[in-house]
């Protein structure tokens, strides 16, 4: 069976040693004639992996988990900063520049697709998007 979903440009954001979170980004290309859905991701890098999106409400950007990421038939979906992305929570180790990690992507129709993601620099994640509002005190 031909692979209907292809992945390119997979990368993981390098994280400082004190960070417990990072994120992964990639482009999904659907060569099939029906929409597919990225349902989940597994990796040895993190204890918890969630699919997230970002929205702007009243001028503030906020991140929220989503049950799946749609991949249109004959089209592509970019998982990138400020949009859909893969949140890596409770890291088992700190991703460092030059390292590579395997991601196992579970799709509704295409099944499991394995991809290798290289660690690279990215803009620092905004704390308020990932940790909620700051406490006053």
Neighbouring CB atoms inside 10 A of 97's CB total 9
Q: In the CATH scheme, what is the code of domain 5-122?
A: 2.60.40.1890
The pTM of the full predicted model, rounded to 2 decimals, is: 0.86
pLDDT tens readout for residues 30-51: 999 999 999 999 999 999 999 9
Distance CA 114, CA 75 (A): 20
Write down the H helix ranges in the chain: 127-131
pLDDT tens readout for residues 54-106: 998 888 989 999 999 999 999 999 999 999 999 999 999 999 999 999 999 99
Q: Looking up tokens 């799946």, which residue turns up?
A: 68
Q: Cα dist. 109→30, 43, 46, 70, 75 in Å?
A: 11, 20, 25, 12, 15
């Amino acid at each position: 069976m031909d692979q209907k979903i292809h992945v390119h440009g997979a990368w993981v954001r390098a994280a400082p040693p004190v960070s417990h979170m990072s994120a992964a980004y990639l482009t999904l290309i659907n060569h099939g004639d029906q929409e597919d859905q990225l349902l989940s991701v597994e990796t040895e890098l993190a204890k918890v992996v969630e699919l997230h999106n970002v929205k702007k409400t009243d001028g503030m950007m906020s991140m929220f988990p989503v049950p799946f990421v749609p991949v249109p038939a004959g089209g592509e979906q970019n998982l990138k900063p400020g949009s859909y992305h893969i949140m890596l929570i409770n890291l088992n180790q700190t991703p460092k520049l030059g390292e590579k990690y395997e991601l196992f992507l579970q799709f509704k129709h295409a099944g499991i697709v394995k991809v290798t993601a290289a660690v690279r620099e990215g803009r620092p994640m905004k704390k308020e998007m990932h940790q909620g509002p700051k406490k006053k005190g």
